[in-house]
Amino acid sequence: MERREFIKSTAYCGLALAFGGPLASLRAHAAATLPPQPWEDLYRDEFAATLGDAMGYAFHCSNCQGNCAWKVYARDGMVTREEQAAAYPPIGPKIPDANPRGCNKGIVHSKQMVQADRLLYPLKRAGRRGEGKWERVTWDAAIDDIAARVVDSLQGQGLASLMVYCGTGILSQGRRAGPLRLGSLLGAQRLYPASAVGDMFTGASLAYGLATVGHTLDAWFEAKTILLWGINAAVTRIPDAHYLMEARYNGSKVYCITPEYNATAKLASNWVTVKAGTDSFLAMSLLHNLFRDGLIDRDFVREQTDLPFLVRIDTGDLLRHRDLRDQGKDDVFYCWDEASGSAQPMPGTQGHFKKSLRLGKLKPALEGAWEVKGKDGDPIPVTTVFAQARAEALRFPPERTQAVTGVHPELVGRMAKDLAGSDKAIVNIGFSLHKYVSGTMTCWAAALACALTGHAGERGGLDTENNWSLGGIGPLSSPKPARFASGFFSEWMNGGMEQTMRRHYSDAHLKEAVGLDHREIGELAEHYAETSDAWFGKPRALLLFADNMLQRNKSEAHYRRAFIEDLDLFVDVNHRMDSTALWADYLLPAKSQYESWDIRGELGYHRFCNITVPPKGLKPVGETKSEWEICLLLAQAIAREALRRGIAAIPDPDFLETKDDKAAPVMRDLVNLAEDFTDHNKLTNDEDVVRWLMEKVPAIAPWTPEDAMRHGYVTLNRQAGFTSPLYANRPFYSFEHNVYLRQPYATLSGRQQFYVDHPLFKQLACMTPTAMTPVRPKSFPLGFWTPHTRHGIHSQWRANAQLLRLQRGEPYVWLNPDAARARGIGEGDPVRVYNDVGEFQARAKLMPAVPPDALVMDHAWEPFQFRDRLGLNNVVAGLLSPLELATGWGHLSFNPNWDGNMLAFESAVEVEKCKEMTA
């Protein structure tokens, strides 16, 4: 039915229909026995039709950590409906099972896959970039032209000029393998996605040498105390959120720490109303109480943390072997041994010959001041990390920090007591915290709170997000070395974001809030670019897969201009037209969630590895192809072009390999690119890739693709755990290898690390966890932050019609009713949000849940949903967190566990009523 016709035919719904009384004689409410009703087959037939004639399995592979097994039904080659498989087995009688996993996004994909924003055919830009003029071209024409221009770039601008980046739209091991493998063979640049989107947990990295630690989320059910810090689990962890209320029914205390009242605060025992960006003060007050009241598991911290390590009082450095001996080691550290009354090296540090945390006869002191004899005979005054951390924490009594955080000391006291008094306690750090400069410190302090109270292993502890160690994938995704670039730093540099930082934060303000002014941050960035192991350089040719970089980057329009102006070639491989695809030179239409084989198992919220197997006979949507097939076509075309130009291979001296006992540059073999890509015809399509992974990944054994195809998932084995075994019958907890087997942690100290004497940490007085003030400037009155939405996985599904009907059809900001009234803004009014970085327009939604000094918006609306296509990131200044630029110190050097964050929540705005947009 036509929409117009529909509205017309329902217009008379508006008439009021009133009864003067019963119309007809009242029938008995208790039903009389009725004969069978043949008409009822109407709905029975409809149900049968949705079940279709074929069924497959799928998960929804985007930057969602849910990883849920679904059944996908199809009829006549068209998907009819999806429903959660709801078939995961229970792990034990007293742990609620994981069914039915799957949310409001997954359930609309059958509509999304055929929605009118779907890319159906290869398109070539026919006007200016972003103008909206497209020409339909054949796959052959598109691939050949792209390949020629890629070879141009490699030949003319060098290997590093090419970026092949698969963004967070595809994080599964199957579909992601294509772009990773192609980029790796070509030596292309690649960003660390978690850093590019600002999802690094640098506080956890400081403490553990690992960014993602934690539990399967069924562990919530067993915990007696749960702190949800900057995580709105009822919105962002929909499939696992049930464990939270079930935990409360099981006697757990749940604290939800967040500046706005939200769906998670609603189910908590207590909402801890922290003022935005002041979390590190709250964390320090929590530590204050633990230290003050002696709520400390002394045996645990002596063995498992660096708190007994000695610190030089004169320099503030950790006492090292080199301080005591000529040519001493840099990575051997000391405690004050109460047994011998002397400084003794601690086993298990990176430089110690003993690779165990067992203390043997050592009795490390936690507090005190002593002198040790230096290598030149002079006494060195020392104390302990414990004493330093304690002194720092005691500066932040909750009675004093309440003025900053808004959190009453009573609540701080309850949290400290519950944390210390619970056998199992879990502190979840959400993705919001590291969107502030202080996030690193908040998370580090929370890790210290867990350490002081002995929460690790089965006793719980910090949870950033657990990831599994699948292993064995390297030969598939990284057959040759690639150019790894820092996510946050590359985006900042490529987008020229220093300019918006300068505009939004005054020198004096930055100096006061961060400790460095513009010049010093600039110098630090330069130093980082020179000394870090990360790759830098603006790309000239970009093959972009499933990444909405022109939506997610801060200082949106500014970033876009700076980034794409130098691109000679911009190819976007995507299943839909997103805000980034709009600006591409070529659009290559990809298959989406149900159409390609895929497998995903690295997400550690549960233990199941899901598989996508399209329903039999599924018809292709338009001319879409799988990412693997697209990469293979590109590899073949690049090989043909190279052969035509007589370039067999390009040497890549940035990477060396050993050939005949000699170091030789890695060769980027162009003419054999297709053979290398398919590993000599062993990997020709998406199904081959999934089968390869199931065979080669040790954590999947002994399951086969056939097992997975029967159920939609397989269960990972005990090898899947990084820092603990994954036991079959209980929730997963991190660090059992360390706590029970006394294996060293992946840190310089070999322990949970709470003292860092990197010069930058010393300069900024952050050697131990401490508080950092919000960086948000005072020049605009409202704080601006953008928590995750329940109606999208970032920008995925943000433009879905089904979900937009469950919102208001277009972007809106959340305003406190008082803040709105003071500005003459009413419910639903069009408003203009602005600052010195940029502006955007949206509608106002009045929310008592939001503090009066804030403008909040659920994130990742597409810029094309706003007037003039100016999205919400236009008002977010580029900002770096200096600490995240530290490099060359122990476990702090560029790697997947040490990269920084794009800071999203440190900007300030004003809002005013504006004119209605006319169509």
CB 874 within 8 A of CB 839: yes
Residue 165 Cβ vs another protein, minimum distance, rounded to whole Å: 22
Find the binder of another protein among 58, 108, 521, 673 (CB under 8 A): 108
Residue 392 Cβ vs another protein, minimum distance, rounded to whole Å: 25
CB 173 within 8 A of CB 693: yes
CA 310 to the chain's CA centroid: 35
Residue 72 Cβ vs another protein, minimum distance, rounded to whole Å: 12
Residues 240-279, one symbol each (x = binds another protein by CB under 8 A, - = not), give -xx--xx-xxxxxx--x----xxx-xxxxxxx-x------
Q: Taking CB under 8 A as the rule, does residue 27 contact another protein? A: yes
Instruction: With CA atoms as reference, report the closest residue to 871 among 802, 816, 794.
Output: 794
Residue 158 Cβ vs another protein, minimum distance, rounded to whole Å: 35
Under 8 Å CB-to-CB from 84, ≥6 apart: which residues? 68, 69, 70, 71, 99, 100, 101, 102, 106
- Residue list 667-726, contact with another protein (CB under 8 A): none
Indicate the residue among 121 and 727 with the shorter CB distance to another protein.
Answer: 121
Find the binder of another protein among 338, 810, 836, 910 (CB under 8 A): 810
Q: How far apart are CA 59 and CA 574, in angstroms?
A: 18
CB 898 within 8 A of CB 202: yes
Residue 518 Cβ vs another protein, minimum distance, rounded to whole Å: 35
Torsion sign across C-alpha atoms 400, 404, 410, 415: negative
CB 798 within 8 A of CB 789: yes
Question: N- to C-terminal Cα distance for the chain?
Answer: 25
Helix (H) or strand (E) holding 540: none
Under 8 Å CB-to-CB from 741, ≥6 apart: which residues? none
Find the binder of another protein among 862, 884, 899, 906 (CB under 8 A): 862
Q: Taking CB under 8 A as the rule, does residue 801 contact another protein? A: yes
Residue 699 Cβ vs another protein, minimum distance, rounded to whole Å: 26
- Residue list 824-853, contact with another protein (CB under 8 A): 845-852
* Token pair belonging to 217: 């989320």
Residue 711 Cβ vs another protein, minimum distance, rounded to whole Å: 15
Q: Taking CB under 8 A as the rule, does residue 527 contact another protein? A: no
- Residue list 167-196, contact with another protein (CB under 8 A): none
Indicate the residue among 104 and 717 with the shorter CB distance to another protein.
Answer: 104
- Residue list 41-100, contact with another protein (CB under 8 A): 42-44, 46-48, 50, 81-84, 86, 90, 93-97, 99-100
Q: Taking CB under 8 A as the rule, does residue 915 contact another protein? A: no
Q: How far apart are CA 859 and CA 527, in angstroms?
A: 33
Indicate the residue among 698 and 809 with the shorter CB distance to another protein.
Answer: 809
Q: Taking CB under 8 A as the rule, does residue 786 contact another protein? A: no
Indicate the residue among 268 and 674 with the shorter CB distance to another protein.
Answer: 268
Find the binder of another protein among 864, 893, 896, 914 (CB under 8 A): 864
* Token pair belonging to 291: 């230290």
Q: Taking CB under 8 A as the rule, does residue 107 contact another protein? A: yes
Indicate the residue among 686 and 862 with the shorter CB distance to another protein.
Answer: 862
Cis peptide preceding 702, ω within 30 of 0: yes
Q: Taking CB under 8 A as the rule, does residue 15 contact another protein? A: yes
Stretch touching another protein by CB under 8 A, among 131-139, 280-288, 647-655, 676-684: 131-139
Indicate the residue among 148 and 804 with the shorter CB distance to another protein.
Answer: 804
Q: Taking CB under 8 A as the rule, does residue 582 contact another protein? A: yes
| CA-atom Rg of the chain in angstroms | 29
Residue 715 Cβ vs another protein, minimum distance, rounded to whole Å: 17
The size of the interface with another protein (CB under 8 A), counted in residues, is 130
Strands 541-545 and 162-166: parallel
Q: How far apart are CA 444 and CA 283, in angstroms?
A: 9
- Residue list 548-577, contact with another protein (CB under 8 A): 577
Find the binder of another protein among 53, 78, 111, 895 (CB under 8 A): 111
Q: Where are the beta strands (DSSP E) in 270-333?
A: 270-272, 310-312
Q: How far apart are CA 366 and CA 523, in angstroms?
A: 38
Stretch touching another protein by CB under 8 A, among 17-25, 138-146, 512-520, 643-651: 17-25
Stretch touching another protein by CB under 8 A, among 26-34, 138-146, 500-508, 662-670: 26-34
Q: Taking CB under 8 A as the rule, does residue 620 contact another protein? A: no
Helix (H) or strand (E) holding 638: helix 627-645
CB 487 within 8 A of CB 211: no
Indicate the residue among 152 and 810 with the shorter CB distance to another protein.
Answer: 810
Q: How far apart are CA 289 and CA 397, in angstroms?
A: 7
Find the binder of another protein among 122, 239, 457, 487 (CB under 8 A): 239
CB 355 within 8 A of CB 348: yes
CA distances from 907 to 436, 441, 596, 765, 865 (A): 10, 19, 41, 24, 22
Stretch touching another protein by CB under 8 A, among 203-211, 500-508, 794-802, 898-906: 794-802
- Residue list 370-409, contact with another protein (CB under 8 A): 402, 406-408
HSE (side-chain half, CA atoms, 13 Å) at 429: 35
